[in-house]
């Protein structure tokens, strides 16, 4: 069974063991495929529904991410759009969306080419945590535009922007916290994400205590905006105390503008 970062996999009795990673694909990856991979390695899931059928599953608070997933499935596999079943419910007063696709052909194509997308740790007897061997399917020879599309999807799903006012307790001096981050628990994938950012000329740091890959420097943040960015229309979730409901790209622009005028941010109502 295959799962993504937020999914727990449980083997079924008819399944043969799935390989947990694949070599870099020989066949060329297209743009929609790179975007779909960015979703599957973060918020998405691909698992066995039955012996001959796979299920693609995605849940998210952002309809833009759901729509991007639908477009990738239609464009990549030439599916009838009706095959992508989208539903909506309300959770804590906010819309929550789910997209499901059942297909033996599509699922077999992805697993044959990439192996499993499971990145969640296994819990062994005795409480030991064991991460499955996996890696991102992009190498030194991969075209930079494809890496950008993959990272745009991944950061849109499991990443975000931090921009807020902090205060030194001893002096009362106010300053801005500014960064872009990607949440990731898998140690190897943390290294892989950092490696891909390096290939795009963007320096990042792995914060193991926070399970994040973080970008802090002004030049690197600008390069992230210009070379990667977030999917259009994807908004910051309710987990943010200051920017909930604002477009991630918009807040990223505010962040970069604040280097020339930090007072513009500090005077905003949420920080006064």
Asked whether this chain's domains 31-130 and 144-271 adopt the same fold, the reply is: yes
Q: Rounded to an integer, what distance in angstroms lies between the CA atom of residue 105 and that of residue 109? A: 6
Region for 201 from its dihedrals, namely left if φ exceeds 0, alpha if ψ lies in -120 to 50, beta otherwise: left
Q: Rounded to an integer, what distance in angstroms lies between the CA atom of residue 103 and that of residue 180? A: 35
Q: Rounded to an integer, what distance in angstroms lies between the CA atom of residue 241 and that of residue 87? A: 28
Q: Which CATH superfamily is domain 144-271 in?
A: Homing endonucleases (3.10.28.10)
- Average pLDDT score over residue span 106-135: 83
Q: Residue 121 — pLDDT band, cuts 50, 70, 90?
A: confident
Task: List, for residues 209-242, the tens digit of each pLDDT value.
Answer: 999 999 999 999 999 999 999 999 999 987 888 9
Q: Which CATH superfamily is domain 31-130 in?
A: Homing endonucleases (3.10.28.10)
Task: List, for residues 44-89, the tens digit of each pLDDT value.
Answer: 999 989 988 999 999 999 999 999 999 999 999 999 999 999 999 9
**Best CA proximity match to 38, nearest among 206, 133, 150, 182:** 150
Task: List, for residues 11-44, the tens digit of each pLDDT value.
Answer: 343 333 334 444 444 457 899 999 999 999 999 9
This prediction has a pTM of 0.87
Q: Residue 219 is encoded by which pair of tokens?
A: 């030049």
Contact 265, 176 (CB under 8 A): yes
Q: Rounded to an integer, what distance in angstroms lies between the CA atom of residue 10 and that of residue 2? A: 9
Contact 130, 33 (CB under 8 A): no
What is the bridge-based pairing of β-strands 53-60 and 44-50? antiparallel
Q: What residue ranges do the domains of the chain occupy?
A: 31-130, 144-271
What is the structure's pLDDT at 34?
97
């Amino acid at each position: 069974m295959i799962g993504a970062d937020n999914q727990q996999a449980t083997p079924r009795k008819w399944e043969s063991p799935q390989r947990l990673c694949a070599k870099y694909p020989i066949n060329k990856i297209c743009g929609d495929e790179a975007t779909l991979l960015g979703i599957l390695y973060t918020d998405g899931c691909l698992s066995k529904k039955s012996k001959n059928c796979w299920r693609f599953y995605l849940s998210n608070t952002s309809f833009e991410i759901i729509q991007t997933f639908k477009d990738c499935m239609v464009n990549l596999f030439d599916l009838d759009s009706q095959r992508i079943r989208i539903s909506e419910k309300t959770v804590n007063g906010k819309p929550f969306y789910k997209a499901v696709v059942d297909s033996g052909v599509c699922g077999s194509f992805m697993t044959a080419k990439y192996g499993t997308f499971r990145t969640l740790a296994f819990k062994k007897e005795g409480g030991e945590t064991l991460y499955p061997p996996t890696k991102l399917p992009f190498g030194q020879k991969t075209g930079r535009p494809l890496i950008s599309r993959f990272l745009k999807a991944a950061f849109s799903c499991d990443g975000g922007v931090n921009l807020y006012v902090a205060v030194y307790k001893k002096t009362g001096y106010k300053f801005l916290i500014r960064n872009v981050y990607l949440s990731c628990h898998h140690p190897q994938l943390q290294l892989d994400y950092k490696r891909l950012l390096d290939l795009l000329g963007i320096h990042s740091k792995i914060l193991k205590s926070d399970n994040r890959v973080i970008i802090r420097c002004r030049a690197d943040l600008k390069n992230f905006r210009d070379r990667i960015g977030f999917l259009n229309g994807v908004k910051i979730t309710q987990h943010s105390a200051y920017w909930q409901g604002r477009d991630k790209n918009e807040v990223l622009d505010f962040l970069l503008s604040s280097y020339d005028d930090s007072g513009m941010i500090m005077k905003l109502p949420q920080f006064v």
